[in-house]
């Protein structure tokens, strides 16, 4: 069996995977999440994350030892992400590549998220994509492995980040996405929060104004009652989630309309990134896909958030194209440009 070993350390998940080059089968995958370690700070502390990667990655690597002789390449997330955490994975990958005399493959993290749709299958192109993570909110059009264009992105915070910030303001812990979603499930959308860029025809995302509106509601409540009770939190989470998703849907609609006018350049639409685990978002996107006659592609829930399996899947394509990275050329600085 010919395998690629892939490493992911762009944020707060230490993960390593083994992917079969010929069949895309995921032979091994493990992830050690640091969420609880950062929870007290309401967000990821880069230096702490880096130190935890240095502890966790070797523990996972140890388990891949029986497969050492089957390895054909070493892949690693090279950008974008937190500098100090990316470095941990990149250093490990470079060491393995050098010591085992195997080619090195640097993988763009966002492309990895896109390929989480194709973990155990061939790619489907052309494809429209909504990428919603902690660092990015983007609409993409993918024609092929190396022809992926950004149609629009967020002007400020990302969708996932806005959930994290709302959770922090309500002292709910980190990461905010799943917690805010579970609070929203029990709440009523009784607060009138703005839907960002609603009146504008602007084809872009923005979440900072909505986050600010949430902050004002919290400040008013504290003035009124000196404390925030559970019902208040649930209702505010629900109102926030409704506005945030309505905003996503309004901009997706522009994207779908444009695609329909162009005799459906893409007939498949994927939603990827950590926040694509949001069930309400999944439901709304499915409705939109059904309306426009487009097939929805989703990653399995466990592979929405950061993981090395998606990095390995991209690396299989790079390997087949013989697209390798020079050992001293890997990017470790985040860049906005991609693919």
Which token pair is 228? 């925030």
Residue 301: CB minimum distance to Zn ion, A: 15
- Regarding 108 and contact with Zn ion (CB under 5 A), the answer is no
Q: Judge whether 260 and 209 are in contact, CB under 8 Å.
A: no
| Smallest separation (angstroms) from ligand KG4 to the CB of 181 | 4
Please answer whether residues 309 and 119 qualify as being in contact, where contact means their C-beta atoms are separated by less than 8 angstroms. yes
Options 9, 77, 133, 307; binder of Zn ion; rule CB under 5 A: 133
Number of residues in contact with Zn ion under rule CB under 5 A: 2
Residue 5 burial (CB < 10 Å; 0-12/13-18/19+)?
buried
Q: Which of 130, 306, 313, 325 touches Zn ion by CB under 5 A?
A: 306
How far is residue 329's CA from residue 1's CA, in Å, rounded to a whole number? Answer: 29
Instruction: Work out how close the CB of 273 gets to Zn ion at its nearest, in angstroms, rounded to a whole number.
Output: 6
Which window, 185-193, 197-205, 226-234, 302-310, contacts Zn ion (CB under 5 A)? 302-310
Q: Which is nearer to Zn ion, 131 or 213 (CB)?
A: 131
- Both tokens assigned to 261: 């006018």
Minimal distance, residue 38 CB to Zn ion, in Å: 15
Name the residue nearer to Zn ion (CB basis): 158 or 241.
158
**Nearest distance in Å: CB 330, Zn ion:** 18
User: Per CB under 5 A, does 317 bind Zn ion?
Assistant: no
> How do beta strands 137-144 and 127-132 pair?
antiparallel
Q: Which residue stretch of 22-30, 125-133, 180-188, 309-317 sits at the interface with Zn ion (rule: CB under 5 A)? A: 125-133
Q: Is the peptide bond before 308 cis (omega within 30 degrees of 0)?
A: no
Grouping H, G, I as helix, E, B as strand and the rest as coil, residue 281 is helix
Task: Please identify, among the stretches 54-62, 129-137, 187-195, 229-237, the one whose residues bind Zn ion according to the rule CB under 5 A.
Answer: 129-137
Q: Minimum distance from CB of 307 to Zn ion (Å)? A: 9
DSSP-derived letter for residue 262 is: T
Footprint on this chain of ligand KG4 (rule: CB under 6 A): 11, 133-135, 160-161, 163-164, 175-178, 181, 273-275, 277-278, 305-306
**39 vs 12, 164, 212, 237, CA distance in Å?**
11, 10, 22, 18
Residue 12 as a binder of Zn ion (CB under 5 A): the answer is no
Where does residue 81 fall: left (phi above 0), alpha (psi -120 to 50 degrees), or beta otherwise?
Answer: left
The least distance separating ligand KG4 from the CB of residue 197, rounded to whole angstroms, comes to 19
Structure tokens at 240: 């926030």
Contact predicate 13/31, CB 8 Å: yes
In degrees rounded to 5, what are phi and psi of residue 305? -75, 170
Rg, Å, the chain Cα set: 20
Closer to Zn ion by Cβ: residue 133 or 239:
133
Which residue number, 126 or 334, has a Cβ lying nearer to ligand KG4?
334
Give the binding site for Zn ion (CB under 5 A): 133, 306
């Amino acid at each position: 069996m010919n395998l690629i070993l892939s490493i992911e350390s762009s944020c707060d998940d230490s993960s390593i995977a083994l992917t079969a080059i010929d069949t895309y089968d995921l032979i091994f995958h493990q992830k050690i999440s640091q969420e609880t370690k950062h929870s007290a700070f309401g967000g990821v502390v880069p230096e702490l994350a880096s130190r935890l990667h240095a502890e966790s990655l070797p523990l996972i690597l140890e388990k891949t030892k029986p497969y050492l002789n089957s390895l054909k390449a070493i892949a690693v997330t090279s950008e974008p992400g937190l500098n100090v955490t990316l470095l941990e994975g990149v250093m490990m990958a470079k060491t393995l590549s050098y010591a085992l005399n195997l080619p090195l493959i640097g993988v763009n993290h966002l492309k990895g998220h896109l390929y989480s749709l194709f973990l155990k299958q061939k790619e489907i192109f052309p494809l429209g994509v909504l990428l919603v993570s902690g660092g990015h909110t983007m609409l993409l059009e993918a024609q092929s492995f190396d022809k992926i264009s950004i149609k629009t992105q967020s002007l400020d915070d990302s969708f996932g980040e806005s959930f994290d910030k709302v959770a922090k303001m309500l002292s709910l812990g980190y990461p905010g996405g799943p917690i805010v979603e579970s609070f929203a499930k029990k709440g009523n959308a009784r607060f009138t929060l703005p839907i960002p860029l609603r009146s504008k025809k602007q084809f872009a995302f923005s979440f900072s104004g909505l986050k600010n509106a949430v902050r004002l509601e919290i400040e008013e409540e504290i003035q009124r009652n000196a404390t925030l009770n559970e019902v208040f939190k649930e209702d505010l989470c629900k109102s926030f989630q409704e506005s945030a998703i309505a905003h996503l849907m309004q901009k997706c609609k522009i994207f779908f309309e444009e695609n329909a006018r162009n005799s459906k350049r893409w007939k498949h639409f994927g939603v990827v990134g950590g926040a694509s685990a949001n069930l309400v978002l999944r439901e709304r996107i499915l409705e939109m896909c059904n309306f426009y006659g487009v097939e929805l592609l989703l990653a399995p829930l466990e592979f929405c958030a950061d993981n090395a399996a998606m990095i390995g899947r991209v690396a299989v394509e790079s390997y087949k194209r013989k697209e390798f990275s020079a050992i001293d050329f890997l990017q470790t600085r985040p860049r906005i440009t991609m693919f």
